[in-house]
Structure 1
């Protein structure tokens, strides 16, 4: 009589459980990093009430420019940094 081993995808249940355990650790790390990125992005560019610029040279950098540069300097996309900043502001 052959004993059937439960599989999830291409791996057995024991290996699947190991993978889930490791991925949960990574997800926790990513979550902490995401909040830290947002907090630092808020420090670089605090949330402000929307207003029209008074002139073309009012500020050296726009919020988008600052966040885009920050994203490039840390190797992430602009949208990741922008979204992390927004989430941290809430």
Structure 2
């Protein structure tokens, strides 16, 4: 079960009830990396092991940042516009991983 949210007590719920965390997109990647580190530390201290992180409504141009932060998967917000341009962006992001 993935527990969504970004509030100050979300990790309490993630660790008590979930198998992972599903926050929304983060503009401040430095802050997000701190949150990921906090979850990983708290999970290890609680004996929970790896907690999966799935970003909900990620922007395509943020995939590298999320990969660097240790995110397991992303749900990408599909932009409106030309399909070919979007698919090229997805292929490029996939090749960079």
Could you state the TM-score of these two structures normalised by the residue count of structure 2? 0.23
Whichever structure has more helix as a proportion of its residues is 1
Whichever structure has more strand as a proportion of its residues is 2
Higher relative contact order (CA 8 A, sep 6+): 1
